[in-house]
Chains A and B, each alone.
Chain A
Amino acid sequence: MLSKAFTAEAWNEAVAIIQSEFGLAVWETLYVTVLATALAIIIGLPLGVLLVVGEKNGVLPLPKWFMAILGAFINILRSVPFLILMILVIPLTRAIVGTSVGTMASVVPLVIAAFPFIARLVESSLREVNPNIIEMAQSTGASPFQIIWKVMIPESVPSLISNATIAITTILGYSAMSGIIGGGGLGKIAINYGYYRYKYLVMFIAVILLVLIVEIFQRIGTKLAVKSDKRLKNK
């Protein structure tokens, strides 16, 4: 099977497919990933903040029942496998986008899969903030919202950037999976050509491109996180 994948004929065919489809696929992959990550952050960031500040000893304690529901809600969404989640949210996707197939439609399950994940990442970032610094802010007369905006979030920016990088690379992986429900991008190409039509070379190239994109995101993210961190002396 593998020997067949690398014949001259297969190469020629692959080059033709790359020329005609890969440009759009790369664009769709990036576009879906970035859009879904951005939307998931918009929902996940405040929820992650609530998970930390709403605790009994947090800066803005919230009712116990509320915290219990929030925690359970996030855990349930987190535990549904993405492949199944994509199918489960079809009615919602249809209500929001108007259709349940296609690139835009794949953004909905991606956001729903990603925001609880992001909420947990934000939670872990904010928990890293030194509690002594929060006490300092309280002793200075900061309100709970001032503590969130002026202390907790700014102090955890490097960690938030690192975690955002983890999120975007994970969402990229999910977006490739959404090729199954007609989502566009490199995932679709890998599935359509590699799985349905046995054109393994095309599949390999699509996968290599996905790896490269992950690598680029990771490098940029790491660099930004390090650059933003003022705790590091020797830069």
Chain B
Amino acid sequence: MIEIKNLTKTFNARNGENRTVEALKNVNLTISDGSIYGIIGMSGAGKSTLVRCINMLERPTEGSVIIDGVDMGALKEKELRAKRKEVTMIFQSFNLLMQRTCLKNICFPLELVGVKKADAEKRAMELLEIVGLPDKANAYPAQLSGGQQQRIAIARALATNPKVLLCDEATSALDPKTTHQILELIKDINKKLGITCIVITHQMSVVEEICDRVAILENGEVVEEGEVTDIFSHPKSSAARHLVYPDGGVNPDILALREGEQRVRVVFNGAVATERPLIAQLAIDLGIEASILGASTKSIGERAYGNMILGIMGSKEKMLRAKEYLEAVPDVIVEEVENDA
């Protein structure tokens, strides 16, 4: 189990006189063993700093990180280096040693702890098999595609049999198809080897695809935390909304607000909602005509998710009736859209 307690990290501003920047403010998270935990936020939210505090690449200013009962901050340099064999990391830019072959890259963490060359190479070959690139042992990283390089990096991260794998924007430099393949590999590793994975990303699609739980970081604070399905169906914070309904989603300002129009956002959270022609039913049952101003739906796992913006002409009371009607449908949430935007 990983416990992050009251974690605060401040940096001295480079140009400011005595100004400090709070990269993380009182972060508290508990990550259970064997889970895939997402940490999501916009760039500058502090997620990279947070992940670096977990393995103490960045020393927290206050608070602690406790992994399986061991306070990481209290370890001496040498103990910390030993502990880092259990908490390994993969990166956005893969960070392979460019002058070494793939096999030798995977051997790198083993060399550091003095494993014999023959044993290290044997282990590296096994890992190449796991990540699906057994024929690339003697290739150099520059000869590989981005997805292949990340596979080698994953193999390297697994070499020392870690308990935790930190994935820092591991798929951000990859195209969607390769991203999917790498995420599948991470999922697979999590399932088969029971390694706890902490996935740092700015892409909600990554969280949707593999994470069990997610924490949303905004300006160094955890603004929301919970099961991924809950966050998707009831995003409470504005940061969560922004991530769940990204720019490609439905923007309430698509059309200029007409005189006397009320707008609601309908959020679908499950297959049931998509099986009924809901808007038509609304017109038939209540006689309320709603125009769909914009919609975006997608399926996650076996469930469908999405949201749409409805425009309803008439009084606020009429809108509230429609809201009540739609909310009666299981897995549908309706919220008023503020008209002042």
The chain A residues found within 8 Å of chain B, CB to CB, are 130, 132-133, 135-143, 146, 150-151, 154-155, 157-158, 228-233
Contact = CB atoms under 8 A, between A and B. Distances in A.
23 contacts: A130-B95, A135-B91, A136-B89, A138-B57, A140-B84, A140-B88, A140-B89, A140-B108, A141-B82, A141-B84, A141-B85, A141-B112, A141-B113, A142-B81, A154-B99, A155-B98, A155-B99, A158-B99, A229-B99, A230-B99, A230-B141, A231-B140, A231-B142
A146 B112 contact: yes
Given A132-B93, A233-B142, A233-B143, A140 B98 contact: no
Contacts of B88: 139-140
Closest 4 CB pairs of A and B: A141-B84, A136-B95, A141-B81, A230-B140
Contacts of A230: 98-100, 140-142
A10 to B, nearest CB: 53
A6 B191 CA distance: 85
A133 B89 CA distance: 12
Contacts of A155: 97-99
Contacts of A132: 91, 93, 95
A155 B108 CA distance: 13
A142 B93 CA distance: 19
Given A150-B108, A231-B142, A233-B143, A139 B99 contact: no
A151 B108 CA distance: 10
A111 B91 CA distance: 43
A84 B14 CA distance: 42
A157 B112 contact: no
A150 B96 CA distance: 13
B55 A139 contact: yes
Contacts of B100: 154, 230
At the interface, is chain A mostly helix, strand, loop or mixed? helix
Interface in B140-195: 140-143, 156, 166
Contacts of A154: 97, 99-100
Contacts of B57: 135, 138-139
B57 to A, nearest CB: 6
A220 B82 CA distance: 43
Given A230-B98, A230-B99, A231-B98, A140 B143 contact: no
Contacts of A146: 112
A136 B91 contact: yes
Contacts of B109: 140-141
Contacts of B142: 230-233
B126 interface: no
Best-buried of B91, B141, B156 by chain A (most CB within 10 Å): B91
A154 to B, nearest CB: 5
A132 B57 CA distance: 12
Given A146-B112, A230-B142, A233-B143, A133 B81 contact: no
Best-buried of A130, A135, A136, A231 by chain B (most CB within 10 Å): A136
Nearest to B55: A139
Contacts of B95: 130, 132-133, 135-136
Contact of A140 (B93, B112, B141): B112
Contacts of B80: 141
Given A141-B82, A230-B140, A232-B142, A133 B108 contact: no
A130 B55 CA distance: 20
B212 interface: no
